[in-house]
Amino acid sequence: DTGVSQNPRHKITKRGQNVTFRCDPISEHNRLYWYRQTLGQGPEFLTYFQNEAQLEKSRLLSDRFSAERPKGSFSTLEIQRTEQGDSAMYLCASSPAGREQFFGPGTRLTVL
Amino acid sequence: QKEVEQNSGPLSVPEGAIASLNCTYSDRGSQSFFWYRQYSGKSPELIMSIYSNGDKEDGRFTAQLNKASQYVSLLIRDSQPSDSATYLCAVGDTGANSKLTFGKGITLSVRP
């Protein structure tokens, strides 16, 4: 196993378009997290899954954002009607229950 | 609002010196603490975790935790130019989700 993977690595889109990102966690990890990081800031929590259940969503996650983790394996994060303020690095992390979180390489989103 | 504060940087040390990175947190009930290293344009990489008061050593890295003072630090001995990066302090949530709250990070530069 080579760790957490994320696709695409980079995404450039025009304002108003929809985008979807994918995260494949470390296979034995039942917890999956999404964070967002902007320049000069630490990552900020967006949402969290335990197996297939989405158990918490940050207030940062507006109704334009949706995340899924079907069958408790990979996860997708969709942003509808993108805005310039959505430009950021979107990070996925996985962990065994309650322990260290390991991050994927991230997806850098640029909204023009 | 839980907060994690890292002392202002950037920090510059000569090669071979000890780099000391500090972090304070606001939630007195926090139980898990992490240091991540982030190279420019890359995702955070876990370098240390600490759960109990005292010191934890791993190679050239030592994490120190003082829950009474709500303070966690990272010492890097024999600093190398390859240690030049941004170091993020993260604190785990006390709830079941274990989501992380990050500081803004401190940029370390090791001068050859």
- Tens of pLDDT along A7-33? 999 999 999 999 999 999 999 899 999
Amino acid at B91: V
Mean pLDDT of chain B: 94
Task: State the pairing for strand pair A19-24/A5-7.
Answer: antiparallel
CA B32, B74, B76, B60 dihedral sign is negative
Structure tokens at B10: 């950037």
* The pLDDT of residue B48: 96
Mean pLDDT of chain A: 94
Q: For B16-28, how does the pLDDT look when each residue is reduced to its tens digit (9 = 90+)?
A: 999 999 999 999 9
Q: For A77-99, how does the pLDDT look when each residue is reduced to its tens digit (9 = 90+)?
A: 999 999 999 999 999 999 987 78
Nearest to B44 among A41, A43, A97 (CB): A43
Is the distance from CB of B86 to CB of B107 less than 8 angstroms? Answer: yes
Distance from CA of A18 to the nearest CA of B (A): 24
Could you give the 3-state DSSP secondary structure of residue A92? strand
Report how far residue B87's alpha carbon sits from residue A60's, in angstroms, rounded to the nearest whole number. Answer: 24
Q: What DSSP designation does B94 have?
A: S
Report how far residue A29's alpha carbon sits from residue A9's, in angstroms, rounded to the nearest whole number. Answer: 22
Omega before B10 within 30 of 0, i.e. cis: yes
Question: What residues are paired with B58 via a beta bridge?
Answer: B61
B102 Cβ under 8 Å from any chain A Cβ: yes
* The pLDDT of residue A95: 94
The arithmetic mean of pLDDT across residues B80-108, rounded, is 92
Residue of B37, B21, B38, B27 whose CA lies nearest to B91: B27
The arithmetic mean of pLDDT across residues A42-60, rounded, is 93
Nearest CA in chain A to B33: A100
Amino acid at A39: L
